[in-house]
Structure 1
Amino acid sequence: MSKFQVFKSTADGQYYYHLKSANNEIIQSGEGYTSKANCLQGITSVQRNCQPERFEPYYALGQYGFNQVATNGEIIGRSEKYTASAARDHGIEAVIRLAPSALIEDLA
């Protein structure tokens, strides 16, 4: 089962999420949030913005990736880096398919 893991960074004290696939690989990560409640709201935004047009694929410095953006244009998730565009596209498809029903695991 896919899941969002919510955790608090010891480096900066902010809350983050990782969206992990059933095989425990990180598909997408969130920006830092000042509170757990805000991080959970960020996850809700990720779940509500799982339409193909909400993803911005890119290629930079020899690596492929994508950002997920909310309707206001704010980045709400960033992918891991990929060596091939097909792998990046598979990552986008995985977020679209898995995020809306992913469980939330509170590690904070």
Structure 2
Amino acid sequence: MAGKFEIYKDKAGEFRFRLKAGNGQNILGSEGYAKKPSCMNGVESVKKNSQNPDRFECHQTPSGKWTFRLKATNGQVIGTSQTYSSESGCRNGMKSVATSSAGATIDDQTA
């Protein structure tokens, strides 16, 4: 099921995006961008790079939870996940990003 990218401004005035799955759950968040076009480029990068499983890194935190990062071909982190209680949950989250981002719509909340 396709998801939705929400473009918004954070409290510091930076542009960010979050990817929501079809069920409305946040599954990926971005860094802050100074300019909106850079944020939009980040969205396109997620759509492209999430289709390659090798672009994801799943790791365990010191507290025993699991998170993942999605990286671009240049190694830069494009987005980070929420925390998961298990590695299998983390891996399912990565699959959800790939599935949800492919046909995702964009909800620009800064317009």
What is the CA–CA distance in structure 1 between the aligned matches of 2:91 and 2:48, rounded to whole Å?
19
Per-residue CA deviation, residues 44-73 of structure 1 (Å, 9 max, x unaligned), is 011110210000110012110100000000
Q: Tell me what 1:7 maps to.
A: 8
Q: What SS class does the counterpart of residue 80 from structure 1 fall into? A: coil
Per-residue CA deviation, residues 5-52 of structure 1 (Å, 9 max, x unaligned), is 00001x210001010011110000011000111100000011110210
Q: What SS class does the counterpart of residue 99 from structure 1 fall into? A: helix
Q: What SS class does the counterpart of residue 37 from structure 2 fall into? A: helix
What is the CA–CA distance in structure 2 between the aligned matches of 1:31 and 1:82, rounded to whole Å?
20
Per-residue CA deviation, residues 86-108 of structure 1 (Å, 9 max, x unaligned), is 11110000111111210000011
Q: Which amino acid aligns with 1:54?
A: R
Q: Which amino acid aligns with 1:105?
A: D
Count of residue pairs the alignment pairs up: 107
Asked if 1:35 corresponds to 2:42, the answer is no
Equivalent pair of 2:20/2:100 in contact (CA under 8 Å): no
Q: What SS class does the counterpart of residue 46 from structure 2 fall into? A: helix
The 5-angstrom pairing of residues 1-80 of structure 1 reads 1-9=2-10, 11-50=11-50, 51-61=52-62, 62-80=64-82
